[in-house]
């Protein structure tokens, strides 16, 4: 039973291991995890229960990334709260990659599926082309979307 409402705060250096552990636990991209870019949701004991970051790429391109929630805390709006706060802080444009089944979730925030590689900054174009190739070669490869918010 959750005793009090979680709170969202900027990550601290002491949260770095908890962030890495959560990212590995939920099975998302563990590359480019810098605690200083993260917002975290914490429980009443200050334990990290959700996180997200804005990841910078070359050319000033920014990615909404590493959105993760501890399974026991899902369905309580933590991801939504972190996403909205990150979007408000960063402003547009933002990009993201996600599993195809999560496209509708991110569409609620105004992200649109970018189906034309020419609409994408270089990093996301490379991800898009690479995943399309994997999908052609391996039927069980995850279907990924590149989405943008402008």
41/61 same-domain check? yes
112/81 same-domain check? no
Helix (H) or strand (E) holding 146: strand 144-149
Which backbone phi and psi does 122 adopt, to 5 degrees? -50, -50
5/67 same-domain check? yes
Q: Is the peptide bond before 93 cis (omega within 30 degrees of 0)?
A: yes
Please list the rounded mean pLDDT of every run of 10 residues in the chain (150 residues): 78 97 94 95 97 95 97 96 98 95 97 91 87 79 88
Which backbone phi and psi does 91 adopt, to 5 degrees? 70, 180
What is the predicted pLDDT for the residue at 118? 86
What is the predicted pLDDT for the residue at 4? 66
Question: How many domains does the chain fold into?
Answer: 2
Which residues constitute the domain of residue 27? 1-91
Q: Which residues pair with 8 in a beta bridge?
A: 41
pTM recorded for the entire structure? 0.90
102/84 same-domain check? no
65/122 same-domain check? no
13/67 same-domain check? yes
Q: Please report the sign of the dihedral spanned by the C-alpha atoms of residue 11, residue 41, residue 19, residue 61.
A: negative
What is the predicted pLDDT for the residue at 1? 43
72/98 same-domain check? no
């Amino acid at each position: 039973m959750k005793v009090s409402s979680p709170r969202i705060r900027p990550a601290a250096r002491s949260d770095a291991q908890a962030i890495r552990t959560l990212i590995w636990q939920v099975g998302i991209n563990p590359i480019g995890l810098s605690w200083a870019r993260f917002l975290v949701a914490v429980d009443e004991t200050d334990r990290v229960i959700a996180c997200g970051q804005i990841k910078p790429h070359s050319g000033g391109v920014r990615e909404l990334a590493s959105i993760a929630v501890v399974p026991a805390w899902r369905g309580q709006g933590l991801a939504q709260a972190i996403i909205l706060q990150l979007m408000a802080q960063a402003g547009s444009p933002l990009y993201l990659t996600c599993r195809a089944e999560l496209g509708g979730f991110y569409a609620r925030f105004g992200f649109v599926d970018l189906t034309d590689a020419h609409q994408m900054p270089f990093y996301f174009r490379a991800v898009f082309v690479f995943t399309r190739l994997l999908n052609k070669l391996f039927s069980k490869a995850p279907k990924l979307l590149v989405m943008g918010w402008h």
